[in-house]
């Protein structure tokens, strides 16, 4: 015998559906309440990559520093740097010397950990890159971005130096560049990082130096960097990569 739903049953099912939907909407809105994210938007100049010797995307790292405590927390680091995957070399300290100094030699991540891997990712192959990190609303941070494009040789950083008869051992080309911006996590604000210095690896240590005339087209690898302070949209699943939330206070 077939059973048909009467009007009362249909009404009850409809009410249950509305209640369930309301609960889901309420839960999503509750998740976004009193939350702020720092969103990094980077445009990578593909022409610069093609002009480099190896035509590989740049290696880079992004981290936040608490200006009061000096504590640093990673937001993103490319996979090759994070895992030491250098095709035959165990380490290439000249790639991102400042990141190495902060998170390896004298920092909090002397060994590769699951936490570090969680904020690493494949080197972006598309020209647009975006990553977010959760921070406390109203908090202040120093944003750091370090970048190096292998094989971007010029007359000051040649592949083979005819005067010293030395070859660029790690194929670094022009040294890594360090960008920075002081930000405040108030939704709606927007910041543009500036090149702070060259990041050099000399005698087993990181040295920062002012950008001079020896740097030519390296400053064009990232032709746009915008940092936005946003409120996360009320979605059930966030499609963007988000850094850890429990330490950025």
How far is the C-alpha of 147 from the C-alpha of 197, rounded, in Å? 11
Q: What pLDDT shows up at residue 33?
A: 58
How far is the C-alpha of 67 from the C-alpha of 74, rounded, in Å? 15
Highest mean pLDDT among 202-206, 219-223, 237-241: 219-223
- pLDDT classification of 39: cutoffs 50, 70, 90: very high
Taking all residues of the chain, what is their mean pLDDT, rounded to a whole number? Answer: 80
* Contact criterion met (CB below 8 Å) for 157 and 214: yes
How far is the C-alpha of 57 from the C-alpha of 232, rounded, in Å? 29
* C-alpha closest to that of 109 among 146, 81, 142, 138: 81
Which 8-state DSSP code applies to residue 101? I
Q: What tokens appear for 50 in the block?
A: 């093609």
Q: Which residue has the higher pLDDT, 104 or 157?
A: 157
Q: How far is CA 35 from CA 29, 171, 189, 233, 239, in A?
A: 11, 43, 15, 10, 17
Q: What percent of the chain has pLDDT over 70?
A: 69
Q: What tokens appear for 70 in the block?
A: 């000096």
- pLDDT classification of 91: cutoffs 50, 70, 90: confident
How far is the C-alpha of 231 from the C-alpha of 104, rounded, in Å? 32
Q: Which residue has the higher pLDDT, 145 or 243?
A: 145
How far is the C-alpha of 229 from the C-alpha of 134, rounded, in Å? 10
Chain centre distance of CA 57: 14
How far is the C-alpha of 75 from the C-alpha of 116, rounded, in Å? 9
The gap between the terminal CA atoms of the chain, to the nearest Å, is 63
How far is the C-alpha of 82 from the C-alpha of 121, rounded, in Å? 9
42: which residues sit within 8 A by CB, 6+ positions away? 128, 129, 130, 145, 222, 224, 225
How far is the C-alpha of 127 from the C-alpha of 151, rounded, in Å? 18
How far is the C-alpha of 22 from the C-alpha of 104, rounded, in Å? 48
* Contact criterion met (CB below 8 Å) for 137 and 245: no
CB atoms within 10 A of CB 244: 14
């Amino acid at each position: 015998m077939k059973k048909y739903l009467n009007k009362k049953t249909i009404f009850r099912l409809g009410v249950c559906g509305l209640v369930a939907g309301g609960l889901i909407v309420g839960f999503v809105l509750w998740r976004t309440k009193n939350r702020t994210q720092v969103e990094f938007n980077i445009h990578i100049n593909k022409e610069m990559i093609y002009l480099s010797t190896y035509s590989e995307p740049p290696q880079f790292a992004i981290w936040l520093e608490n200006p009061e405590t000096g504590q640093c927390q990673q937001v993103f680091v490319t996979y090759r740097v994070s895992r030491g995957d250098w095709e035959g070399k165990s380490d290439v300290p000249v790639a991102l010397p400042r990141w190495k100094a902060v998170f390896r030699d004298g920092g909090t991540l002397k060994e590769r950990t699951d936490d570090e891997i969680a904020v690493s990712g494949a080197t972006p192959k598309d020209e647009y890159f975006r990553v977010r990190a959760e921070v406390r609303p109203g908090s202040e941070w120093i944003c750091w971005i370090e970048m190096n494009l292998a094989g971007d040789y010029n007359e000051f950083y040649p592949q083979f130096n005819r005067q010293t008869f030395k070859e660029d051992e790690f194929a670094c080309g022009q040294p890594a560049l360090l960008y920075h911006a002081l930000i405040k996590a108030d939704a709606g604000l927007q910041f543009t990082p500036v090149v702070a210095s060259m990041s050099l690896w000399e005698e087993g240590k990181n040295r920062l130096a002012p950008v001079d005339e020896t740097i030519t087209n390296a400053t064009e690898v990232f032709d746009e960097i915008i940092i936005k302070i946003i409120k996360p949209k009320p979605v059930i699943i966030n499609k963007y990569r988000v850094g850890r939330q429990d330490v950025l206070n």
